[in-house]
Amino acid sequence: MYWRAAHALWTLLFALSAFVQLNDADPIVWFAIYAAAGLVSAFGAAERVRWEAAAAIALGAIAWAIVLVATTDDVGPPMAHGPGGVLAHEVVREVLGLGLVAFWMSVTAVQTRRSQPSDL
């Protein structure tokens, strides 16, 4: 029962995150990752989620975050004023968002995998 409630809460959070991305400069990719995580969470709330789907989204979010950090030229303080600080601030927010997706999708994958009967 607690897992269903947690999945329902994360579904709402990811749906809200996907919605606010529609006003972003590159909305399609960000909407897609949050919508995918929200969909998997909704299936989790209905107890019909596949652990492989959650794991794939988690790995994708982790890889995307690594690429963002590796390709960012500016490593200045995220709250600095000026063009470099704005870029750093945006990358920090994007990586944190991907971190939340990776976190909950990892939890979902592990929890779902443990609750499924063994194939052996």
The answer as to whether 120 is a domain residue is no
Domain region containing 41: 2-115
The answer as to whether 105 is a domain residue is yes
Q: Using CA atoms, how far apart are residues 48 and 68, in angstroms rounded to an integer?
A: 32
The answer as to whether 67 is a domain residue is yes
What would the pLDDT profile of 51-91 be if each residue is shown by its tens digit? Answer: 999 999 999 999 999 999 888 875 555 555 555 555 567 88
What would the pLDDT profile of 13-64 be if each residue is shown by its tens digit? Answer: 999 999 999 998 889 999 999 999 999 999 999 999 999 999 999 999 999 9
Candidates 68, 91, 97; CA nearest to 79 is 91
pTM: 0.84
The pLDDT confidence band at residue 120, using thresholds 50, 70 and 90, is low
Number of domains the chain contains: 1
